[in-house]
């Protein structure tokens, strides 16, 4: 499995993020690279500021979710549990 996603997969990831679907973006990245949940989340979290810088209007919903804190942790735990049983 490749270390990095293809351009098509990157397009899917950025489209998911533009739609506010961060968990979907993480899932796409994991499927493309077979990386773990923590690594995938790190990649997506590092990608978000770059996308906001490139197109602040398109990714405005992501900058508002930065302070989500406990909700993000809870959602990631839920995703991890779901992926564990899939």
Residue 84's pLDDT band (cuts 50, 70, 90): confident
Residue 62's pLDDT band (cuts 50, 70, 90): confident
Instruction: Answer for the pair 28, 13: CB distance below 8 angstroms, yes or no.
Output: yes
| CB-side neighbour CA atoms (13 Å) of 21 | 11
Backbone angles phi, psi at 41, to 5 degrees: -65, -40
Q: Domain extents for the chain? A: 7-85
pLDDT of 61: 85
Kindly tell me if the per-residue pLDDT of 7 is higher than 70: yes
Residue range 36-55: mean pLDDT, rounded: 94
pLDDT of 79: 74
pTM above 0.75, yes or no: no
């Amino acid at each position: 499995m490749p270390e990095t996603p293809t351009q098509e997969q990157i397009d899917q990831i950025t489209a998911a993020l533009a739609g506010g679907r961060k968990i979907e973006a993480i899932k796409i990245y994991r499927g493309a690279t077979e990386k773990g949940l923590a690594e995938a989340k790190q990649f997506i979290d590092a990608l978000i500021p770059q996308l906001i810088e490139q197109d602040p209007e398109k990714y405005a919903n992501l900058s508002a979710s930065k302070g989500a804190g406990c909700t993000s942790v809870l959602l990631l735990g839920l995703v991890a549990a779901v992926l564990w049983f899939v």
